[in-house]
Amino acid sequence: MFRRRLTALVCSVAALGLLATGCGDSDGGTPAAEKGTGKITFWSFVKGSDKVAEAFNRSHPDIEVTFEAVPSGQEYYSKLTNAVKAGTVPDVAVAEFAQLPEFATQGKLEGLNERLGPLVEDHFPEPTRELVQLGGETWGVPRDAAPLMMFYRNDFFTSHGIDVPTTWAEYRTMTGQVRKADPKARGGVLYTDNPGLLTALAQQAGSQWFDTEKDAWKVSLTDAPSRKVADYWGDLAGQDLVHSLSSLDPFWTSVQQNRTVAYVCASWCAGAQQATVADQKGKWSVAPVPTWDGKPASAMYGGSSFVIPKGAKNSAAAAEFIKWITTDPEGMKAWVSTGTSSMFPADPRLVPVTRSAFPTDYFGGQDIYAVGSQSYKSIVPGWTWGPVMGTTNTAVVDRLPKVADGGTKLIDVLADAQRATVEDMERRGMKVAP
């Protein structure tokens, strides 16, 4: 429904502020049937990208990939923006789902309908396709999804008689039981430097932060589902039932020191934890993320795609490389060959490949990919990322640290982020519905 409405908007003059692209054929250049050869450059901050490029080069003698490591976060997206302006772009680049619409709306990506559109239609479920198909055009090919899951210390829960929660009401009870059992321990984390989890929890609750209304964007970071999530997590933080920590070293230190014994994250946390807190092998398990009504419902916390930036010199070969690293079993094996990745493929048919490569001993023999598959299937559909997510995310992060100390309410953080988002969209000439 969203894609049909946005397609109509894009093909009208009034919609130019929504998506600054043309209609009709992709601008990919040569036909999709053309087999690419030659040299291409590849930018990525995703772990294992160097090994993937090496594996591709060994199996594809007609294409030579040169990999260049780039920083993650906003520094990377600024670098890519500058490269587009200067005409020095790589042929293949990574784009997280949240940032892809912003690059598409600003005309920084090649359309992929001809080269890779059929591939995306064939390999990925609708909630994932919606993240890379905007205005009737395919802008990227998904690599990994990041379905929500709950991680918990099974030894702590068992020894203190704590049940694994299935609803958010039960989760709150669990956090109180954890603190009572060990005053230094907590059963959750509100990250102070990363808006991604908050966004995923809003999606899970049924929020729609961005939509379209006639010929304008509709922005609603404070809708009823988001308010429910903000009130809930703001209260948990305010009552000191969960930690308020940076998602980087302070968080993992709290896990190592037994101060965090449960937390909500995505599939990728399994590999990160196994690599970072190796001495707690066998003490952790994974469960479906709690829901508001007890029925399966999930969302993505992260996830990435690969794109061809506007101005790429060898789009045909770039498309061949992207196809291999996102949908080919050998390409997926290359991603997980290091043994530290627990990425969940956006292509469900590749789950057996990652499942077989990821060791089960850290999680006591549990098949965490079975939990991930259940979560992926229950992702709430219809989520749309906004066209200025860099601004949105920065505005959220700027005030998140003040929630735990009572300096602000979480819903007010979202309200401020909405104001900043709307102001930036209007400054860029986009029409925003009142």
What confidence tens digit (pLDDT) does each residue in 104-116 have? 988 999 999 999 9
| 414 and 277 in a common domain | yes
| 171 and 318 in a common domain | no
- For 13, the token pair is 């003059």
pTM value surpassing 0.75: yes
In a domain, 381, yes or no: no
Residue 380's nearest CA partner among 61, 127, 107, 66 is 127
CATH of the domain at 406: 3.40.190.10
Q: Which residue has better confidence, 14 or 291? A: 291
Task: Return phi, psi of residue 262, to 5°.
Answer: -160, 145
Average per-residue pLDDT in the chain?
90
**How do strand 38-44 and strand 63-69 relate by DSSP bridges?**
parallel
- Among 2-11, 45-54, 224-233, the range with the most confident prediction by mean pLDDT is 224-233
Residue 193's nearest CA partner among 368, 411, 400, 383 is 400
Residues 315, 91 contacting (CB under 8 angstroms): yes
In a domain, 237, yes or no: yes
| 320 and 236 in a common domain | no
Give the Cβ contact number of residue 361 at 10 Å.
Answer: 10
pLDDT at position 24: 38
Counting residues of the chain whose pLDDT is more than 90, the rounded percentage is 79
- Number of compact structural domains in the chain: 2
pLDDT at position 31: 43
- For 38, the token pair is 């030659």
| 307 and 354 in a common domain | yes
CA distance 253 to 126: 38
Name the region of 339 (left: φ>0; alpha: ψ -120 to 50; beta: rest).
Answer: left
In a domain, 316, yes or no: yes
Query: Which domain does 322 fall in, by range?
Result: 2-145+301-363
**Stretch 353-358: mean pLDDT:** 89
| 205 and 78 in a common domain | no
| 191 and 98 in a common domain | no
| 21 and 100 in a common domain | yes
pLDDT at position 113: 97
| 163 and 189 in a common domain | yes
**pLDDT tens, position by position, 78-102:** 999 999 999 999 999 999 999 999 9
| 218 and 337 in a common domain | no
| 248 and 210 in a common domain | yes
> Does residue 11 surpass a pLDDT of 80?
no
Contacts of 63 (CB under 8 A, 6+ apart): 36, 37, 38, 39, 40, 56, 57, 317, 320, 321
**Stretch 338-363: mean pLDDT:** 88
| 129 and 18 in a common domain | yes
| 215 and 95 in a common domain | no
pLDDT at position 74: 85
Sign of CA dihedral 167, 225, 420, 2: positive
- Tokens 């991930």 identify what position? 372
